[in-house]
Chain A
Amino acid sequence: MPSVSNIALKISDLAFGYSKKPLLEIDELQIQKGEHLAVIGPSGCGKTTFMHLVAGLLRPQVGTIEIQGCDITRLKEWEMDRFRGRSIGVVFQRLHLLSAISVLNNLLLAQRLARIAPDKKKAMRLLDRLGIAAQAHVLPAMLSQGQAQRAAIARAVIHSPSLVIGDEPTSALDNSSAADAIQLIKELSESVGFALLIVTHDERVRSSMDRVLDLESQT
């Protein structure tokens, strides 16, 4: 039985649906710090909905979602926004770096929204580690797909969250880039200590995770 302080995510008796019929039901799920979980399932089974629930963007009809011991279903919306900024990192399918500001400023803004003091040196070190320090001051539109994915990963982890959620983060990448991205994010998870939850169709990703949650089998 893992200690409470090691649990990054705990879901209990969760049910969510857009109509009377629940789309998603999860009785029990726990992810330890540093653990990597792949969430799989056929289209329409609720993978993205599951990700939104964990990120606090949707509220379940019943059940609890605890992140680092905090039941996010009980937080007010603005409290959830702040909590998300501080404790959760998100990597999107289409990357979604803010196009008006440089790569470095994307990272500094994430720090600011996490309510921590912007640390330019830390951001530069991270970009250097991901091999895109030279692109720190360019706009995202100037990056290649692979570079943009690394920048998105950097932004998701710059504030040292306890949980990083990825929504199909490799779907737009070629095999080589996808493998690099997964490798990078796993390395960062080990060094920073965050739990990793990746929603994916990608067999390459699935096979590299510690555990797999098949949502089809849950409903």
Chain B
Amino acid sequence: MNLLQLSLSNLSLSPLSTAVNILLLSLGTGSIAILLIATHLLSAALIRDAADIDLVVGAKGSPLQLVLSGLYHADIPTGNIRLSEARTWMEHPMVESAIPLSLGDSHKGFRIVGTNEDYVDIYDGQLAEGKLPSNLLEIAIGSSVSKATGLSLGATFAGQHGLDGAGHAHDEDSYTVVGIFEASDTVLDRLLITTLESVWLVHGESRPNSETYDTTQTNRPREHEDVHADAEAEASEAVLEDHHENEHVKHEHEREHQHEHEHEHEDEHEDELISEYDGDRERQTTAYAEAQEITVLLVKYATPIAAITLPRKINDESALQAASPAYEITRLLQVIGIGIGWLQAFAAILVASAVLSIFAALYASLKARRNDLAVLRCLGATRSELFMLLLFEGVILTTAGIVFGLIAAHGGIELAAIALGDAQNFPFTGFVWAPTEFVLVGGLLAAGVLSSLIPSWQAYSTDVPRTLALS
């Protein structure tokens, strides 16, 4: 039996009062902890999913909506933009990289994103099975999508227009799952990734007629061989039609040349013609893509100065809208923060009530135990030990309130996460510790100690002879 055990025994003497005090403090602690954890998880998810993207470019509308839809896939897009129009900015010297996304469809609530491999790279996406989509109507799915929908390699499905599952199904163009990503704890887990051309095809844009098509519609410089290979292997029907016309023109041209330079360097001239023919095909292939629409462009700056000039330039000089994720998310968190602030204030009142209740309980028990304290002094306890005895009681009540509050908060969040499963825009878990929780625990312990100080001091100051004489 020591003083700590004696403190515990004293608290157990009035179980109802002790339980009520702990419950009150648990409620306050749990409420604040839930807000802190939620804020932490949301901020972490927003930062993680932003993937260092500096600018989101899309159709005019709400900049926040543009960022939420284009970067976090948590809102409907503001509209589509011409790839040709976006190309101007993709090739801007202040842009290091720009990734086009074509949105609009979903499967069982998970968004289908037409893009290229660069998009997967910004989230360090790794394939658990299969390969990345390279042919039309091939699709790779995130880990959460795989778990929630049960789709596996080789499975086929039709996308639905919109995100709510109420849109019409594109039954005529079914996707085939060719890859499944490993879990990355990013938005990639909840997406279905296909090529831009597949999205264009599904939406009935003028379709290329070949098996494969160039999916690297970024501003990355392309090798001539790649372009040539693409032109060879991926010519569309439209391109082929154009090609016949071109061949005709080319033959006309050839005849003219033959007529005019019949005797001059026939081999050399033939090479020039082939080169010109290849160039035409490349231009026509590009022209097909440029005529298509995308939804957003995810831009990384080449230089910090771009942050000052590029958004304004895009907004002023084009029909497009540029939104900075950092700015918009800060604004969003500020708006959310106001609500969170009110909730925290309410929870703080709960905590303050609990701390006052602890003070009242200790003070009341002190009055009832004055004789016990005097007897303890007679048994050899020092004044400091009496001080510690009361302080222990306050700290035990506070610690129990904190522990139960934190267990309730973390457990509640984990249960909610399990209940909601993978169908969340921002996945969360209770098995996380927000750094601000350290501040909460420290603050509450300090409050608990403070609430115990007056009763502890009174215990310290117990006048033993007088107390014994009055007993």
Contacts and interface: CB of A to CB of B under 8 A. Distances in A.
Interface of A: 48-49, 52, 55, 57-58, 77-78, 81-82, 84-86, 90, 92, 94, 96, 98-101, 105, 108-110, 112-115, 118, 155, 167
A112 B2 contact: yes
Contacts of A49: 465
Interface string B354-373: 00000000000000000110
Interface of B: 1-2, 5-6, 9-10, 12-13, 371-372, 374-384, 464-465, 468-469, 471
A57 B9 contact: no
A92 B379 contact: no
B376 A101 contact: no
B13 A110 contact: no
Contacts of A94: 371, 471
A100 B365 CA distance: 12
A100 B382 contact: no
25 contacts: A48-B469, A57-B378, A57-B464, A78-B382, A81-B377, A81-B380, A81-B381, A81-B382, A81-B383, A82-B382, A85-B379, A85-B380, A86-B380, A90-B378, A94-B371, A96-B372, A98-B372, A100-B12, A100-B13, A101-B9, A108-B1, A110-B379, A112-B2, A113-B379, A115-B380
Contacts, number: 84
Nearest to A58: B465
Given A92-B378, A113-B380, 14 more contacts: A48-B468, A49-B465, A52-B465, A57-B377, A57-B464, A57-B465, A77-B383, A81-B377, A82-B382, A84-B380, A90-B379, A92-B471, A118-B1, A167-B468
A99 B372 contact: yes
Q: Is the interface of B mostly helix, strand, loop or mixed?
A: helix
B375 A109 contact: no
Contacts of B464: 52, 57
Top 8 closest A-B pairs, CB basis? A85-B380, A113-B380, A100-B9, A108-B1, A96-B375, A109-B1, A81-B382, A105-B1
Contacts of A108: 1
Contacts of B374: 96
Contacts of A155: 379
Contacts of B465: 48-49, 52, 57-58
Residue of A55, A101, A115, A155 most packed against chain B (CB within 10 A):
A101
A52 B468 CA distance: 10
Contacts of B380: 81-82, 84-86, 110, 113-115
A84 B9 CA distance: 24
Contacts of B379: 84-85, 90, 109-110, 113-114, 155
Nearest to A93: B471
B380 to A, nearest CB: 2
B1 A112 contact: yes
